[in-house]
Structure 1
Amino acid sequence: MQESKLSFLKKIILDLKQAHRVYEQPDANLFLSGINDVAYQKKQLLQSFSESRYDFNNKEQATWYIRQQQQQLISFMEQIADDLTKDDILSLNQPSIEPTWENLFKFIYTDLAELLSFLEREYAGYMDAGCKIHAGCLLSNQVTLAAELSLVEEKLKEYTVNEKLLSVVLLPFREFFDASHIAHSITCYQLSYLKELKTALLLLLKDLKPNTDPTHELQDVLHHLNFNSTPYFKYWIASAKSEINAQPTTRDKGDWLIYMKKEIRQTVIKPALVLNKANPSLQKQQLSWLSDEINYYKEKESQSHSIPVPDKFYQWKDYKVVTALSVPQLANTLRLFVDGGLYLNQNKTELLDFFSNFFTTTKQDNVSSGSLRSHFYKDNAGVSKAVREILRKLINRPC
């Protein structure tokens, strides 16, 4: 029954488009009959759609049926949109009874949009999110999103967010704005994701404090919303490599990677949300890349340990000098000896790496070179006082 009614609507549209190719403009009779015929079919279909909810045996059957109607209506609207300009579609709420093809097709498009809107309202849970949006939806959202994104971009630039990151974040919106109302592939799901991202960006700006760098907060938003675009993943890799290269030793590089893997694994991700369904999730891509890097540095460190060394050195490779000093005290003592000219090594990084490898404390079995370095350059009055007290006791101790 419903299929036959859609078939009637389809025939009316095809006949009118055929007449459009023949006549420069419709006469008054054709214009009014076209409007009335489509309006009558709309009324019949609305009644049929309302009654259909009682005809379904299960959800699967209802889903299949509603999506068939959705896709058919979108197809009809595309056919009509082919003969309308962007301005025609944006002015659908300003109908005119002047007998022109543009006005006739605007009436028909409005009726089709009303049918689709009814399905979206009454059967929201059955609609196909992967179905294309119609031209009117595309154009109206291009206007509203463009205004809101202009504000977001302006504000983020004021906060001096990384320009490359900003361009990557805005890229999906740019692609949406560039889509043509005649031929596009924007789906309901894609539009929904962009609205979700836009809302999150506006909330981010609302919570930002003046004179702060929102780069990390912006990335947190992207990770939470599974922003798995290829350009962003490449940006994230470049950023991660920069952090890795800043680490002085192979062990520090590995430690940073392990820590980052933990952070990524613990990221809270909004369920069932993804920018690009064709790509793996952002978290999956990140964890895979981090695992490869960790394995690489483990292998690199393993190879460095396997380099042949003289026997007299080999026996000391796992030897540790145990000290009662804490890590902050050890670092402070080293700084005292370096500044005092007792240790003459010019490369402080190598010196600290040596002590982190061959010294341990009673409170900490493994001394991280990063931790030792941090305390080496940190001014801590309490630690300095404790070291001076230790040295004073040593000086006063009888030989």
Structure 2
Amino acid sequence: MKAKYILENYDRIVKEIKNPKIIFSNDLTPFLKKFTLESYLIHQIEFSILNNEIKYILKNTIHNLHPRANKIKCNAAESNAELKHYIPYIIKELNLSSNQVSWYWCTNNKNTGYIFQDFEIEDLSQEQRFFLYCYHTLKKENYKIKKTNKEIIFKLNSKAKIEQYIHQKQYALENLTHRLIKEITLEHTSNLNQFSNNYDKTDCLKITYIYLEKLHHFIEKEYKIYLNLNSQIPFRSTFIKEFKISKKINEVKTIFLKSNINDKVLKLVYEPILKIETLNIHGNLTYYEFNYCSEIIKELYKQIESENLTEEVILDCLFDLNFNSLQLFKYITNTILQELEPLEDNTQKIYDLFRILKIYNQKQSRNAIKYKTNLPSIKKQIIAWIEEEINYLNKIIDQEKNQFRIPYQDENNIKFLSVFSVAQLSFFFGLLIDTNIIDHKNQADVIRFIAKNFKTKNTDKIAIESLRTKFHNVESATIKVVQEKLLEIIALTKD
């Protein structure tokens, strides 16, 4: 049986808000009177004392049926005698009669007072009555929806059915939330809980959004394990407060700013932090992404608490949590290539790659979670890349054997040991060719000659492919070393 749509009354309220004729065509007074035995306005007064001078400000006035009225905690206890002295003046300023008002002091702030003024619901503006109507309708509707949902879920006899039911409710809430966001114009999300004195369309849409958000929170708290993780998370989700994410993010960022950690590593780890930090009313993050990014933040926070936050620890943390972003892949592979760069022989590079491959094969990385759901795990990415590099280097070695086969030579054939590296040797012989000291046009012959007759401190077997590459790619450090040797030769020619 098809599940009933739970937000019919929400849709009806939104239609009424967008249709001004409805606001003025209905008498909402009887409806509002059901929610209170009394009707009065609440005037808030804020006192301040500076340099023995007392000042006061009249804040916004609200009706006792207003959403903020429930948050007012006050009593009739005596307060500061000096402040009490101003009460008659304030009542007069408000153009009120003393016999129609009561004075109360805020329970939590002795410098805040309230004047309760008897006021009939009929005397409220129609806009104000409609706003209060929206508020109390939605409040009542939420109670009804929560009760109905609990009863239905209690009767469902399997986890799969409960999940399906919850997912349907999430989908409905998400759709209506997006529709409301398009209608509400906000300079800042903090204004979402602030209402104007005009009680206009925006105020009514805000209260609708707030109560829709309360339904979201209800589902998060009561049915956490059944949530659709691919659904978008509300920007004021209960999980943000529950996990104390904001506090952890601030502490992690503070430590990072003070550290000497590589900027590239910081950029990697900032990616999941910014995903949560930039979560906004437009809902740009799923529950899955939120849970994953939160896990990274919590893990980094643990390392901070143990005073163990290093570059290596951060990378291990990202690898363990299967942070399979292309950026981390590039960082790790570039680091491996830098390790291989000083090695002059492809065989040595292969040996080193096998050593690194063993490390990554034994490295722990979680399979149940990953950052990018559409990409392989970071462990699979790195291992596949290393294996590909090994295959590539093996092919180069085979190619060298086939295309640049050195004629048979006695294994005891003497090779000259050079203080030059392979790169320096290739550059030096290149100079000999360029200056016609070696007058031979076939560069391949010269390369084979060097490989056959020379060795370096690092390798007895110089790879022909390595020589050929370095003939055409000369680094400044190589040029400098050869220049110094040439200067030594010149010095020896002098008396």
Q: TM-score, normalised by structure 2?
A: 0.57
Considering only CA atoms, is the larger Rg found in Structure 1 or Structure 2? 2
Residue identity matched to 2:356: M
The 1:4–1:77 alpha-carbon spacing in structure 2 relative to 1, beyond 3 Å, is closer
- Provide the residue aligned with 1:346 in structure 2: 419
- Provide the residue aligned with 1:131 in structure 2: 231
Correspondent of 1:281 among 377, 393, 401: 377
Matches within 5 A, 1:1-399: 3-19=4-20, 27-82=127-182, 83=184, 85=186, 87-89=188-190, 92=193, 99-137=199-237, 148-178=248-278, 180-182=280-282, 184-208=283-307, 214-306=310-402, 307-313=404-410, 316=411, 345-347=418-420, 350-354=456-460
CA shift, 1:114, in A, is 2.2
CA shift, 1:249, in A, is 2.1
The runs of 4+ residues in structure 1 deviating greater than 6 Å are 20-23, 94-98, 138-141
The 1:302–1:84 alpha-carbon spacing in structure 2 relative to 1, beyond 3 Å, is same
The 1:22–1:247 alpha-carbon spacing in structure 2 relative to 1, beyond 3 Å, is farther
**2: CA distance between counterparts of 1:157 and 1:27?**
51
SS of residue paired to 1:291: helix
Q: Structure 1, residues 54-78: CA drift from partner, whole Å, max 9, x if none?
A: 3324322221111010121122223
- Provide the residue aligned with 1:364 in structure 2: none
Gaps of 5+ in 1: 320-342, 356-399
CA RMSD of aligned residues (A): 3.6
**1: CA distance between counterparts of 2:239 and 2:200?**
22
CA shift, 1:296, in A, is 0.9
The 1:46–1:231 alpha-carbon spacing in structure 2 relative to 1, beyond 3 Å, is same
CA shift, 1:273, in A, is 1.5
**2: CA distance between counterparts of 1:139 and 1:85?**
24
**2: CA distance between counterparts of 1:280 and 1:20?**
57
Q: Which has the higher strand share?
A: 2
**1: CA distance between counterparts of 2:22 and 2:140?**
24
**2: CA distance between counterparts of 1:41 and 1:115?**
10
The 1:192–1:140 alpha-carbon spacing in structure 2 relative to 1, beyond 3 Å, is closer
Residue identity matched to 1:311: Y
CA shift, 1:269, in A, is 1.7
Contact 1:20–1:26, Cα closer than 8 Å, also in 2: no
**1: CA distance between counterparts of 2:379 and 2:139?**
50
SS of residue paired to 2:371: coil
Residue identity matched to 1:286: I
Q: Structure 1, residues 220-253: CA drift from partner, whole Å, max 9, x if none?
A: 0110011111222222222121112133321221
Q: TM-score, normalised by structure 1?
A: 0.70
SS of residue paired to 1:354: coil
Q: Structure 1, residues 15-54: CA drift from partner, whole Å, max 9, x if none?
A: 324449999x971221122112212221111111111123
The 1:20–1:138 alpha-carbon spacing in structure 2 relative to 1, beyond 3 Å, is farther
**1: CA distance between counterparts of 2:167 and 2:146?**
15
Residue identity matched to 2:393: Y
The 1:299–1:54 alpha-carbon spacing in structure 2 relative to 1, beyond 3 Å, is same
User: Looking at both structures, which has the greater relative contact order when contacts are Cα pairs under 8 Å and sequence separation is at least 6?
Assistant: 1
The 1:263–1:18 alpha-carbon spacing in structure 2 relative to 1, beyond 3 Å, is farther
CA shift, 1:4, in A, is 4.5
Contact 1:89–1:135, Cα closer than 8 Å, also in 2: no
Contact 1:26–1:99, Cα closer than 8 Å, also in 2: no
The 1:266–1:231 alpha-carbon spacing in structure 2 relative to 1, beyond 3 Å, is same
**2: CA distance between counterparts of 1:21 and 1:246?**
79
The 1:267–1:90 alpha-carbon spacing in structure 2 relative to 1, beyond 3 Å, is farther
How high is the sequence identity, in percent, across the aligned residues?
A: 20
**2: CA distance between counterparts of 1:21 and 1:156?**
56
Q: Structure 1, residues 89-147: CA drift from partner, whole Å, max 9, x if none?
A: 5663x778973444433432332222222222222221101101123339977xx7566
Contact 1:152–1:202, Cα closer than 8 Å, also in 2: yes
Contact 2:13–2:134, Cα closer than 8 Å, also in 1: yes
